[in-house]
Structure 1
Amino acid sequence: MRLALDEHLQTGVTGLCHLWTIERPDGEVLGFTDHDCDLAVEGVIHRAGSGLTASALQQATGLAVDNSEVVGALSAAAITAEDLDAGRYDGAEVRIWLAAWAQPSERRELFRGSLGEVSRRGAAFRAELRGLAEPLGQPGGFAYTRSCSAVLGDVRCKVSLQTPGYFCDIGLQQVSDDRREFTFEALPGFDPRWFEHGRLNVLSGAAAGLSAMIRSDDLRPGGRRVVLWEGIRAPLMAGDQLRLFAGCDKQVGSCRDKFRNFNNFRGFPHVPEEDWLTSYPRSDRPATGGRRVLPIWANTNGRN
């Protein structure tokens, strides 16, 4: 495809356009083009007249974020203000092509990455483009900590959140104006705080596909109250279906007793505390290298 486009460019008379393919985190795929007709590429219809444009792409070696952005106009048939405000485009995957509009298969990929910060003003929006090298500039690796370093349900944790008892499907009953506090009459079979540190997914309604992390889950006189760290950024109505996933506080006791997953615990609960590591020799505390039996009144962390 790239060689065919090179030959097309060498003719001196060209008909070129840009194509944008955006895949949102919820799986929705949208296509846009600055050509005056719709174009089909890789099974995606790239719509014309979307008002989507991109600034000059600046790419260089190294791990710096590419200095580029995409600018567009809101449209009921394309990108809507409601979807932007709800965060449906946060972290969406983006591909930008240069193509011959008469033969879209003759194209060259100019950019591949994701959407970063999105801002909106009136009927227009502006989104930062982040290249594939951007994640390589983030700190990586694992640290020796008492708590688990895995994410509940990932390949290191190996717990399946689809196991009965680790999730609950329920209809929306009451929600606060900021869509952060949810109240249910009861969640039978689930202990208080079972969903704390877990996740709430919206399965139906205007907010379908959105999710948020759960801050607290407790019993109140009015029923069971679930509070999110950040409110759902789309309208919710009584009867909308929700799914609550169990949460993990990353402590060894929860891994062993709540999830029966102690063999996959990714923490180091017996790492000495900082005051033990910084302790110094004392005449009344011999350091022979052997095992020392402490009196029953002694503090086992190295302090008297």
Structure 2
Amino acid sequence: MKTVPPGLQALLDSGVTTLCTCWRIERLDGEVFGFTNHDRMLRFAGTGYQPETGFTPAETAASLGLAVDTAEIEGALSADVITDADIALGLWDNAHAEIWRVDWTDTANRVILRKGSLGEISRGTQSFFAEIRGLAHQLAQPGGRTFQRNCDAVVGDARCGVNLDQPAFKGTGAVSAVTDDRLISVSGLGGFAAGWFAQGLLTWTAGSNAGARSEVAGHRLGASGSVTIELWRRAERPIRIGDTFTVTAGCGKTWEICRAKFSNGANHRSFPHIPGNDAAYQTAKTGGVNDGGSFFND
């Protein structure tokens, strides 16, 4: 149940209101933005809410139980606040969102309407359309550990414990040639073995994709010493010769790779000795070993 401040309740009871809506968006990179449909700047709780930013509320759905509530907002693409490039690079994906109802004559009279995160964002020529998902959507996400042969930690996270900032696991380079914004020839990585950065993470530090991250599909060495990096997905913006990046070593999630590549067997988060799928189909037989293998190859 929401608690309405006495001042706001008195305003609502009066029949004459001076209310507006404020949106606070905090991206995963820590950047905070405030927007309001009022015609002047508002500020509260350390955040400034910019007026006339083109933010307008659209459809809102609310329900009892654990169904996911949603709200939708529509806005104009602004060169200095919300750009088409930032949306394309995924900088707004899953950003934390708060929606407030505020008395613009006294911002202490306010109440939060809902919290959630930005879901799907669609773009048009001059505008964007974003979905705000309620907190219940997190209940639909996988949680807890999985009983499996491969590690369920993310390389470099707290559960893994590997420090990816070590020189052995992190490289810097620049683009020397580009093929369809997915296959790039690079300089600066000649001291690493082939495949070292496969399944790793590449972060652009300069160029039109600066700040964006791309997962690495392949890392190959040519006969002449050239280095080729293949990305799983094409970059959202064109890659140019001279664009710079950092890239971290990838992990294949197996016990062997964890122990040999990272010397991190003590933190390996899997169950490498669980039986294979064939063991689930074991059938009793008069002779031999019941190991789940084929009857026809005995």
> Match of 1:163?
166
Q: CA deviation at 1:221?
A: 4.2
* Letter of the structure 2 residue corresponding to residue 180 of structure 1: R
CA deviation vs aligned residue, 1:206-225 (integer Å, no higher than 9, x gap): 32211011111111346111
TM-aligned CA distance change 1:189 to 1:130, over 3 Å? same
Aligned partners of 1:63 and 1:137 also within 8 Å: no
| Range 58-67 or range 211-220, more displaced | 58-67
CA deviation vs aligned residue, 1:154-210 (integer Å, no higher than 9, x gap): 222121212221111222322233x21121245133111001111000123332211
CA distance in 2, matches of 1:186, 1:170: 4
CA distance in 2, matches of 1:237, 1:121: 26
- 1:94 aligned to 2:97? yes
TM-aligned CA distance change 1:51 to 1:186, over 3 Å? closer
> Match of 1:216?
218
> Match of 1:126?
129
CA distance in 1, matches of 2:14, 2:210: 49
- 1:64 aligned to 2:64? no
Structure 1 stretches of 5 or more lacking a match?
A: 288-299
> Match of 2:34?
31
Structure 2 stretches of 5 or more lacking a match?
A: none
1:183-194 correspondence runs (5 A): 183-185=185-187, 187-194=189-196
CA distance in 2, matches of 1:251, 1:154: 16
- 1:174 aligned to 2:177? yes
**What is the total number of aligned residue pairs between the two structures?**
291
> Match of 1:48?
51
Aligned partners of 2:8 and 2:109 also within 8 Å: yes
TM-aligned CA distance change 1:194 to 1:67, over 3 Å? same
TM-aligned CA distance change 1:257 to 1:286, over 3 Å? closer
CA distance in 2, matches of 1:105, 1:236: 48
Kindly, what percent of the aligned residue pairs are identical? 38
SS of residue paired to 1:111: strand
* Letter of the structure 2 residue corresponding to residue 208 of structure 1: A
CA deviation vs aligned residue, 1:253-293 (integer Å, no higher than 9, x gap): 11001111101111111111121231112111267xxxxxx
CA distance in 1, matches of 2:241, 2:151: 37
CA distance in 2, matches of 1:163, 1:5: 54
Aligned partners of 2:70 and 2:134 also within 8 Å: no
Q: CA deviation at 1:58?
A: 2.5
Q: CA deviation at 1:55?
A: 2.2
Q: CA deviation at 1:301?
A: 6.6
Q: CA deviation at 1:114?
A: 1.0
| Range 264-273 or range 63-72, more displaced | 63-72
Q: Which residue of 141, 145, 148 corresponds with 2:148? A: 145
Aligned partners of 2:200 and 2:250 also within 8 Å: yes
Aligned partners of 1:64 and 1:137 also within 8 Å: no
Q: CA deviation at 1:56?
A: 4.5
CA distance in 1, matches of 2:143, 2:10: 43
TM-score (norm 1): 0.88
Aligned partners of 1:30 and 1:44 also within 8 Å: yes
CA distance in 2, matches of 1:187, 1:42: 46
> Match of 1:195?
197
> Match of 2:117?
114
Aligned partners of 2:172 and 2:188 also within 8 Å: no
CA distance in 2, matches of 1:2, 1:174: 60
* Letter of the structure 2 residue corresponding to residue 155 of structure 1: A
Aligned partners of 2:190 and 2:227 also within 8 Å: no
| Range 277-286 or range 105-114, more displaced | 277-286
